[in-house]
Amino acid sequence: MEKGKFIVIEGIDGSGVTTEAVKLKEYVATKLNLPVHLTKEPTDGPVGGLIRTILAKRVGAPSHNGKFESIDPRCLALLFAADRLDHLEVDILPKLEGGVVVICDRYILSSLAYQSLNVDRRWLEQINAKAITPDLTIYLQVPPLVAERRRNQARWHVELYEETPKLQKVAENYVEAIDELRRRGQRVEIVDGNRPMREVQRDIIAAVKPILTTRAGSGRKRPKPPAGEPRLNMVFPSDNQSEEKEALAP
Ligand code: TMP
């Protein structure tokens, strides 16, 4: 059985990552007719639960000057890496092995962009070295002030990283980390998330579709033309978009 593809969606808080991940899942399930699983980090597992209480500023420790502070940034980075390995073991890898497309709302790139506010990026890469590389990462690029407006509309509490000056730096870290990952051959697409939803979704689908509809990626059997016949242009019914034709190589 072909392995499933692993797709990650990333962006600063308020960029629309969760909304777009849900929409993409719907598209993969209903238009591409593929088995698909949506998941997120931090997870709902034991380490993810601890991370969430830290992000909500409900866990901390008295510092040397007696002030109550959040936990050491290196410890938090290790927790994110531990949560990720647990996530891979109990959820992501078994699904991929079973041929399911996995869409993950945040993954290693979040650690490289957020934890590098306080922690050396090389070390972050080392502690995440056992985590697999996604087949595709999509970064939703939204100006930090626009993201702030969206957050203010959606929530009443402010989490650890949800301050615009911090997120400005996180956005710069994303771009730097993406440059480096691309130089190493990883597939990362930047999508302008500051546009009407329909346009954003169209671009996300355009990035994802080639990965999921190659013969190896789709898991669907496609008819081979008889030997000697010219290449055909074929439309697959599940694509539901009659103008989108795919070249079928013999
Ligand atoms: P969210 O559930 O609203 O996406 O919030 C998760 C927060 O955790 C968000 O501020 C990004 C942050 N985060 C990290 O700092 N490092 C990580 O590795 C991950 C996965 C998330």
What is the Å distance from ligand 1's center to 80 Cα? Answer: 9
| Residue 103 bridge partners (DSSP) | 7, 38
Report the DSSP pairing between strands 36-40 and 101-105: parallel
Residue 108 CA: nearest ligand 1 atom is 18
- Distance (Å, rounded) from C-alpha 193 to C-alpha 141? 5
In a domain, 230, yes or no: no
**Distance in angstroms (rounded) separating the CA atoms of residues 136 and 212:** 10
Residue 108 lies in a domain: yes
Residue 185 lies in a domain: yes
pLDDT at 223: 41
* For ligand 1, atom 13: residue with the closest CA: 110
User: How many angstroms separate the CA atoms of 222 and 234, rounded?
Assistant: 10
SS3 38: strand
86 part of a folded domain = no
Q: Domain residues for 14?
A: 6-39+100-219+242-247
| Best probe residue, ligand 1, of 41, 127, 162, 173 (max atoms within 8 Å of C-beta) | 41
In a domain, 166, yes or no: yes
Q: Are 157 and 173 in contact (CB under 8 A)?
A: no
When divided into structural domains, the chain yields a total of 1
Q: What is the distance of C-alpha 100 from the center of its chain?
A: 16
Residue 35: per-residue pLDDT: 98
What are the tokens at 187?
């597939």
Query: Cβ atoms within 10 A of the Cβ of 73, count?
Result: 14
Residues of the chain with pLDDT under 50: 216-250
Please tell me the predicted confidence (pLDDT) of residue 229: 38
Task: Give the global pTM.
Answer: 0.85
79 lies in a domain?
Answer: no
- Whole-angstrom Cα distance, residue 169 to residue 235? 45
**Which ligand 1 atom sits nearest the alpha carbon of residue 81?**
18
Q: Is residue 61 part of a domain?
A: no
Gap from CA of 147 to ligand 1 centroid (Å): 14
pLDDT at 159: 86
Q: Is 228 among the domain residues?
A: no
Domain of residue 110, CATH code: 3.40.50.300
pLDDT, tens only, 195-211: 999 999 999 999 999 99
